[in-house]
């Protein structure tokens, strides 16, 4: 039995600016408290089940550690080992899991599958990446930018390379946080229909072009991601077409002097980014990775309806 929809965290555009701002504030507060050695057991005795249909390093470890720091527990499941891989439906899986655990985090390629799971679940469901969206990543990215540069409102952001899940969540964030996002992507790998719709909806906050140099010019933040996402099949062709979109020292030189560089990781060094850039002084990729932990702790507290102060 349940009353109302659980607090799912599925997509950035399910939220208002105020809701996400609240979570980011809590993320910052939890990070500060952790540094001071204060580990409030806000999720004591709560159990989070994590289902991974695909590989993960950051999402897996940061959710696991985050739950433990908050006094909760985790169960790690791989899709392959579950009856999901023998055609049990997402909906039936959700109903069963909801009888055992307090929340579910899932990484699954099909966004429709995520929605089916969330629809049937009576506990909160958190999106740990689908082909369409990676909202936890963008919470960490927003947090990271603001730690280094203050309020992201009005910031000029350049996305260079493939159009994928991380970009999609950034487009949604640019609209809510009123950033100037310029997306440079080759015609061959231009946004799919639903991403295109969200770019259009974002109006003046998101602009799609082809030239990476034009996108980066005057940017406060340059972002890229792998050219071959999980589920992509045409790796060799992608690497050929996307080659001009590599973020290297020459491209970064066109951005503002103090521009930051971000990448959700894992990086494919020598493809979408060079060592000089990702290991250089403008890169904040490991702060981004760390902030997955803090941002997701705030998301978990929100999902469980727990006050953090
Ligand atoms: N950025 C990110 O989600 O990394 P993992 O695939 O390692 O979880
Ligand atoms: N766009 C990448 C992100 C990995 C964290 C992928 O979907 O594989």
At 291 the three-state DSSP class reads helix
Cβ-proximal residues to 54 (8 Å cutoff; 6+ apart), any chain: 79, 107, 108, 109, 129, 230, 231
Question: ipTM for the complex?
Answer: 0.99
Whether residue 1 is predicted with pLDDT greater than 50 in this model: the reply is no
113 catalytic per annotation: no
**Which residue among the candidates 64, 162, 225, 271 is catalytic per the annotation?**
225
Q: CB atoms < 10 A from the CB of 264, how many?
A: 27
Which tokens sit at 178?
């009123």
Closest Cα to atom 6, ligand 1: which residue? 56
Q: What is the CATH number of domain 137-289?
A: 3.40.50.1370
Give the mean pLDDT of 34-54.
Answer: 97
Say if domain 12-133+291-303 classifies as CATH 3.40.50.1370: yes
Give the mean pLDDT of 111-125.
Answer: 98
Give the mean pLDDT of 128-139.
Answer: 98
Percent of the chain with pLDDT over 90: 97
pLDDT of residue 78: 95
Going from N- to C-terminal start, the domains of the chain cover: 12-133+291-303, 137-289
Whether residue 252 is predicted with pLDDT greater than 60 in this model: the reply is yes
Q: Is 45 annotated as a binding residue?
A: no
264 catalytic per annotation: yes
Are residues 304 and 7 in contact, defined by beta-carbon separation less than 8 angstroms? Answer: yes
Residue 269 Cα to ligand 2 middle (Å)? 15
- Residue 239 φ/ψ, nearest 5 degrees: -65, -35
Give the full edge-to-edge strand order of the sheet including 103-107: 73-78, 47-52, 103-107, 125-127
Which tokens sit at 265?
């990781």
Give the mean pLDDT of 68-91.
Answer: 96
Whether residue 309 is predicted with pLDDT greater than 80 in this model: the reply is no
Whether residue 151 is predicted with pLDDT greater than 50 in this model: the reply is yes
Q: Is 291 annotated as a binding residue?
A: no
Average pLDDT of every residue of the chain: 97
294 catalytic per annotation: no
38 catalytic per annotation: no
The ligand that comes nearest to the alpha carbon of residue 264 is 1
Whether residue 193 is predicted with pLDDT greater than 50 in this model: the reply is yes
Give the mean pLDDT of 196-208.
Answer: 98
What is the band of 3 on the pLDDT scale with cuts at 50, 70, 90? low
What is the band of 307 on the pLDDT scale with cuts at 50, 70, 90? confident
CA 123, CA 246: separation in Å to the nearest integer?
42
Whether 12-133+291-303 shares its CATH topology with 137-289 is answered yes
Whether residue 51 is predicted with pLDDT greater than 50 in this model: the reply is yes
Q: Is 275 annotated as a binding residue?
A: no
Give the mean pLDDT of 138-159.
Answer: 98
Are residues 204 and 181 in contact, defined by beta-carbon separation less than 8 angstroms? Answer: no
Question: In the chain, which residue ranges form alpha helices assigned H by DSSP?
Answer: 17-35, 58-69, 90-100, 111-120, 135-149, 165-177, 193-202, 212-216, 235-242, 249-252, 275-278, 285-303
């Amino acid at each position: 039995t349940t009353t109302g929809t659980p607090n799912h965290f599925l997509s950035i555009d399910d939220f208002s600016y105020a809701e996400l701002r609240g979570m980011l504030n809590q993320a910052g507060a939890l990070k500060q408290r952790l540094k001071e050695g204060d580990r409030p057991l806000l999720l004591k005795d709560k159990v989070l089940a994590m289902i991974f249909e695909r590989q993960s390093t950051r999402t897996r470890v940061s959710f696991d550690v985050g739950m433990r720091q908050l006094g909760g527990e985790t169960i790690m499941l791989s899709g392959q080992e579950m009856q999901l891989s023998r055609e049990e439906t997402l909906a039936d899986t959700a109903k069963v899991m909801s009888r055992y655990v307090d929340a579910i985090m899932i990484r699954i390629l099909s966004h429709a599958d995520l929605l089916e799971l969330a629809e049937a679940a009576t506990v909160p469901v958190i999106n740990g990446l689908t082909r369409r969206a990676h909202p936890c990543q963008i919470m960490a990215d927003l947090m990271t930018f603001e730690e280094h540069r203050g309020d992201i409102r009005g910031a000029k952001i350049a996305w260079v390379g493939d159009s994928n899940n991380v970009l999609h969540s950034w487009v949604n964030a640019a609209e809510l946080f009123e950033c100037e996002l310029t997306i440079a992507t080759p015609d061959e790998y231009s946004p799919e229909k639903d991403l295109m719709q969200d770019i259009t909806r974002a109006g003046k906050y998101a602009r799609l072009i082809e030239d990476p140099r034009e996108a980066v010019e005057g940017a406060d933040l340059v972002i890229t991601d792998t050219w071959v996402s999980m589920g992509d099949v045409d790796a060799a062709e992608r690497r050929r077409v996307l080659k001009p979109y590599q973020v290297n020292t020459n491209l970064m030189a066109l951005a503002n002097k103090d521009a930051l560089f971000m990448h959700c990781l894992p990086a494919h060094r020598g493809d979408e980014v060079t060592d000089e850039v990702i290991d250089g002084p403008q890169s904040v990729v490991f702060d981004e990775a760390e902030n997955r932990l803090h941002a997701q702790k705030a998301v978990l507290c929100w999902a469980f309806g727990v006050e953090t102060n």
